[in-house]
Amino acid sequence: MKAKIIPFIVLLSLFSLFFYSCEDSTYKEYKGNNPVYMSYEDLRSSFAQEQNSDLKNPGKIYFKDNYIFIVEELKGIHVFDNSNPASPVNKAFIKMPGVVDISISGYIMYADSYVDLVVLNVEDIANIHEVGRIKDILPYTVPAIDNLFPAAYVDQTRGVVVGWELKTIREKVNTETIRYPIFMLSSLSFMADKNATGASSGISGSGVGVGGSMARFGIKDQVLYVVDNSLLKVFDITDKLSPSKINEIYPGWNVETMFLTENEMFLGTTTGMAILDITNPSSPVFKTFFQHARSCDPVIVDDTLAYVTLRTGTTCGGNLNCLDVVNVKNINKPVMVKSYGMSNPQGLGKDGDLLFICDGSAGLKVYDASDPLSITSHLIYAYPQIKAFDVIPFKNVLMLIGENGLYQYNYSDVRNITLMSTIQVVK
């Protein structure tokens, strides 16, 4: 490396070794994950709509007006016309780096794109387009890394991190360097019809869609909720094209999922379930926290019962794999009803007395949950060949996302649950 140029050449000769030695001592060298950046300018000009894009790494799912939206984690959103669940039609792919979660009110979609909240018009599936963007409103997010090696320093001024490359890193050691907090994504890691004409007329201007149990976005009336690791951001969407942040609440640490009922918000965290009153949607009020052992924790609620799955083998920690049933009739004092052992449960859904649980490598399990004290004694169906991640049950159709793609089941006759269609992941 070059020493600093100083006016006196003799001093340069005399002290060159000294300066080199001192400067070199401020560096460390190691093998690690080096960030690959995308500039903020490129991020904000990268939106595009494509056709015939294969599903490769499915994440979260969302349903509205006969359309299924499947997030291709950190890459974009697949759109399928599901007017006929026996034959879903691949309609479009929305290219949008950094997307993990979405929610739709009317025909306006809200999606994260790394640090930005993006507003999309999805009324015409053939012409989905960006209509708004709030910059730098979401936490700085980086993709999951190879945990066998450390991560290099992330310079947020260079843009967003879109990936990692394993290499020898020479990094300057600066004891005064401030490392800003970042939100590390856990990869969801787990389809493909060609574009064709479909029967659906498009997305309507009313109502909101339905997300899975892993959702971090939610909408109530004219309010959009976005939860990250430790903050709940509240946006007024009275003007749907221009969300304005009106509130920010600290509901706890390591928040993973959000589930909304008419008057409450249930947040799944790695250490328990936080319950907030959203009677006034713009001003959520923290009510109580139901604690459990450390574990990943999606939650759904049906009437007075909450169903919580806890699992191991993730960055959440813990050693429990179970389904907890909690009475939340009195939201100020939740009471455990019963806990059931599971293999490695993840997302879940409920329709009437039917409880659908994605139990990891043990597959999809369908229970009669009419008696909360004997759920596992009433297993109706099990599909162990499917490594399931999340589900949306809707009007006798179960939409399931798993490692190998999208599966749809007709459960109108619980004695004869049938597979209607699959869209396979393309490796």
Confidence band of 14 (pLDDT split at 50, 70, 90):
very low
> Is 113 part of a structural domain of the chain?
yes
The boundaries of the domain holding residue 351 are: 346-367+377-427
> Is 179 part of a structural domain of the chain?
yes
**Are 352 and 204 part of one and the same domain?**
no
Q: How far is CA 380 from CA 63, 383, 411, in A?
A: 25, 10, 11
Percent of the chain with pLDDT over 90: 69
> Is 405 part of a structural domain of the chain?
yes
Could you tell me the two tokens for 229? Answer: 């690791």
Cross-strand bridge partners of residue 419? 409
Q: Which of 172, 194, 209 is the last residue of a domain?
A: 209
Question: What does pLDDT average to over the chain?
Answer: 86
> Is the per-residue pLDDT at 112 higher than 70?
yes
> Is 285 part of a structural domain of the chain?
no
Query: Rounded distance, CA 386 to CA 377, Å?
Result: 21
First to last CA, the chain: 45
Range from 91-95, 166-170, 421-425 carrying the lowest mean pLDDT: 166-170
Contact between residue 16 and residue 24 where contact means Cβ atoms under 8 Å apart: no
Instruction: Please report the pLDDT score of residue 269 as a whole number.
Output: 87
Instruction: Please report the pLDDT score of residue 197 as a whole number.
Output: 34
Tens digits of residue pLDDT in 204-246:
778 899 999 999 999 999 999 999 888 999 999 999 999 999 9
Confidence band of 144 (pLDDT split at 50, 70, 90):
confident
Could you tell me the two tokens for 122? Answer: 């999805």
Instruction: Please report the pLDDT score of residue 114 as a whole number.
Output: 96
> Is 146 part of a structural domain of the chain?
yes
> Is the per-residue pLDDT at 29 higher than 60?
yes
Range from 71-75, 134-138, 179-183 carrying the lowest mean pLDDT: 179-183
> Is 49 part of a structural domain of the chain?
yes
Confidence band of 318 (pLDDT split at 50, 70, 90):
low
> Is the per-residue pLDDT at 380 higher than 90?
yes
> Is the per-residue pLDDT at 154 higher than 60?
yes
Q: In terms of C-beta density within 10 A (0-12 exposed, 13-18 middle, 19 or more buried), how is residue 427 classed?
A: exposed
Question: What's the structural domain count of the chain?
Answer: 2
Range from 175-189, 237-251, 399-413 carrying the lowest mean pLDDT: 175-189
Q: Kindly report the pTM of this predicted structure.
A: 0.87
> Is 17 part of a structural domain of the chain?
no
Query: Rounded distance, CA 69 to CA 384, Å?
Result: 25
Query: Rounded distance, CA 348 to CA 250, Å?
Result: 26
Q: Which of 209, 241, 267 is the last residue of a domain?
A: 209
> What is 74-130 written as a DSSP string?
TTEEEEEE-SSTTS-EEEEEEE-TT---EEEETTEEEEEETTEEEEEE-SSGGG-EE
> Is the per-residue pLDDT at 146 higher than 80?
no
Q: Which of 182, 209, 236 is the last residue of a domain?
A: 209
Contact between residue 417 and residue 409 where contact means Cβ atoms under 8 Å apart: yes
Tens digits of residue pLDDT in 254-286:
888 999 999 999 999 888 899 999 999 999 999
> Is the per-residue pLDDT at 42 higher than 90?
yes
Instruction: Please report the pLDDT score of residue 184 as a whole number.
Output: 55
* Mean pLDDT calculated for residue range 285-296: 77
Percent of the chain with pLDDT over 70: 85
> Is 262 part of a structural domain of the chain?
no
